Chain A
Amino acid sequence: MSIFDLMRAEYILIYAETIRRKSELVLMILYPYLFTGFVLLLGYSAGSLEVFKSRIGVDPAIFMATASFTVMSLMIGVDDVLWRPLWDMWIGTLPYLIASPVDKFKLFTIMPLPRATLIVLLGFTSLLPLYILQYGLSGVILVLLVTILIVIGVFTMVPLGVLLAGLIHSIGESWRILSVVRPIIMVLLGAYYPRFYMPLVAKLLSYTIPPSHIVESVQRVLVGLVDQWLLVLIAASIFLTALYTPPSRASLKFWEKRKVSEGVKIS
């Protein structure tokens, strides 16, 4: 079985679902702008631009737009994996997916890639004019660096997504748990609220999320701290990803076993 054929199939499925569902396409394009606008509005009402800049060290518009891009891209690594079994169950494709000979871990690892590609490309084109405006031509290099880091971040998020998917879907009414787990991960990533300012417990939890180190490295790039720490953070993220991969495979097997022992619903 070619992994490329599987990837191609997933890309066609997700792009058809996105492009042929117009509301989803429009929302996907507008989402980063809406989110940035909302957060900036909230920020303006709470304090001034100067206070933000002095505390964080980055222009708030750049910070918020980058944070939106980062969170949107990284959360795809969790979202598409976590919600997919529920979606497949609702539309009745789950039994065929389980009863097919495909390696489920391979399939689930591929699942977030199509939407992540779309989001990364959209995010790149959204950020580019803003960075050029702020940093001049060197903004092009900066936005490329940020995009590359985010792409690494997406890959490092997937095993955690698969691990959680396996565990959460083994429990009944998983969608309720999902709606709690998802925002927690979003906060712990530290994109909007940098890890540096988090309370100790949240900070420790944040360290266990592989792409949170990528988020920190993006923030370091934005404040101009491009040093060896960047590599350390990327290495930490990759190390955690490697650490999460075997349990995520096991968790998916556990989910499949659990599903089969209680019976996969077919109607």
Chain B
Amino acid sequence: MSKAIEAKGLVKRYQTKERYGFFKSKVEVVEALRGVSFTVNYGEIVGLLGPNGAGKTTTIKILSTLLLPDEGEAYVAGYNVVKEPSEVRKHIGLMLTVERGFYGKLTGRENLEYFAALYGLEREYAKKRIDYLIKLLELDKLGGDYKLFEEFSLGMRARLSLARALLSNAPVLLLDEPTLGLDPPSARRIRELVKNLAHEEKKAVLYTTHNMFEAEIVCDKILLINKGVIVASGTPGELKAKLPKLKVLILSLYGQSVENLQRTLGDLGLKHEISSELNIHTVRIHVQRPEDIFNDLVKKLVSSGFELLSARIEEPTLEDVFIYFSEGYL
């Protein structure tokens, strides 16, 4: 398979100013990307997964010719994003923030017709393509065909945004958090469509998200990005296999003090995460053999004044993988 997207050592630095009063400021250089390299093949969905500020959108902006990298090279459909931006633009379908990016006083169809003209589509072809996309994304059922964009719900806006990305039938799709803030049916519809586009129509899809569940069910390959660096890559299964042979012991406890709980677990030297609601605490402990520590742990917790409500053992999730690679503390 040929490479649809190829990024080689992408570096991007931003200058930010720290203000001290009205007149004093200090310029600080922030490295948004620190040598990002990856490839995406045709027919493949690659997820760029990371927390806010990890460098996902910066990567998408460079690949869509909306930002120049400071170092490194990137190719989309074989064209250099810096030297041949016009060619790159002909070969990409772009979906950025879903809630904005259209003309409020135009209907969904009129908006698509406008962008079809920008993409240089012949009028007859554009009309057929828009009819097809409106049906595909079920915008006709939602009234998106003739409603003004300003009257669209968030779900309709996301569908219209995806329709625009698909207008020119470009072989490479760059989708930046396409399901962010959507209701479950709209999010599911978009995920299904993206999977079909890659696997049936052999489009290359770069899909950014910070939703682990989504990445796991949509993407063929995942790139974990954190602080501008790709910390791990592979299929969801491969990534989980890269973890040390750890399991997750999940305890549900009732008790007064989180501090006391943290102290008790800290004394035992166990790496853990705690989430609490009212006086019920859920503890996730990563260990190789949970059965070895279970009895002693429960005794210690009970003697510290906690009541055990439930306990179970789980295989690590993609979230655990992400925490392991980005924070390295499992």
Q: Which A residues are closer than 8 A to B by beta carbons? A: 1-2, 5-6, 8-9, 12-13, 16-17, 20-21, 91-93, 95-102, 107, 260-261, 263-264, 266-267
Contact = CB atoms under 8 A, between A and B. Distances in A.
B173 interface: no
A266 B119 contact: no
10 contacts: A5-B121, A12-B113, A21-B105, A92-B101, A96-B94, A102-B117, A107-B118, A263-B14, A264-B67, A267-B96
Nearest to B149: A91
B251 to A, nearest CB: 40
A31 B297 CA distance: 80
A219 B116 CA distance: 43
Interface in B269-327: none
B103 A95 contact: no
A191 B85 CA distance: 43
Top 3 A-B pairs, shortest CB-CB distance = A92-B100, A1-B120, A9-B117
Interface of chain B, main secondary structure: mixed
Contacts of B104: 91
A2 B110 contact: no
B80 interface: no
Contacts of B105: 16-17, 20-21
B146 to A, nearest CB: 12
Given A9-B117, A100-B115, A264-B67, A16 B103 contact: yes
Interface stretch (B57-65, B201-209, B213-221, B226-234): B57-65
Given A16-B106, A91-B100, A260 B65 contact: yes
B92 interface: yes
A261 to B, nearest CB: 5
B92 A99 contact: yes
B86 interface: yes
Contacts of A1: 120
A101 B148 contact: no
B73 to A, nearest CB: 16
A103 to B, nearest CB: 9
Given A93-B101, A99-B94, A101-B89, A266 B120 contact: no
B112 to A, nearest CB: 10
Contact of A98 (B58, B66, B90, B117): B66
A220 B123 CA distance: 45
Contacts of A100: 89, 115, 118-119
A101 B67 contact: no
A99 B89 contact: yes
B240 interface: no
A266 B61 contact: yes
Given A5-B123, A100-B89, A261-B68, A13 B57 contact: no
Contacts of A101: 86, 89-90, 118-120
Interface in B115-173: 115-123, 126, 148, 164
Contacts of A17: 103, 105
B118 A6 contact: yes
A13 B97 CA distance: 21
Contacts of B14: 263
Nearest to A266: B96
Highest count of chain B CB atoms <10 Å: which of A5, A91, A266: A266
A99 B64 contact: yes
Nearest to B64: A99
B118 A97 contact: yes
Given A91-B102, A93-B102, A260-B85, 17 more contacts: A5-B120, A6-B117, A6-B118, A9-B116, A9-B117, A91-B104, A95-B64, A95-B96, A96-B96, A99-B92, A100-B89, A100-B118, A102-B120, A107-B118, A261-B67, A266-B97, A266-B176
Nearest to B62: A263
A264 B60 CA distance: 12
Contacts of B122: 2, 5
B119 A12 contact: no
B66 A260 contact: yes
Given A16-B105, A260-B66, A260-B67, A96 B117 contact: no
Nearest to A96: B101
Nearest to A4: B123
B114 A263 contact: no
A20 B146 CA distance: 14
A254 to B, nearest CB: 14
Nearest to B14: A263
Contacts of A5: 117, 120-123, 126
B25 to A, nearest CB: 15
Nearest to B32: A263
A102 B118 contact: yes
A12 B106 contact: yes
Nearest to A21: B105
B97 A92 contact: yes
A101 B100 CA distance: 21
Contacts of B103: 13, 16-17, 91, 93
A60 B132 CA distance: 59
Given A93-B101, A100-B115, A266 B66 contact: yes
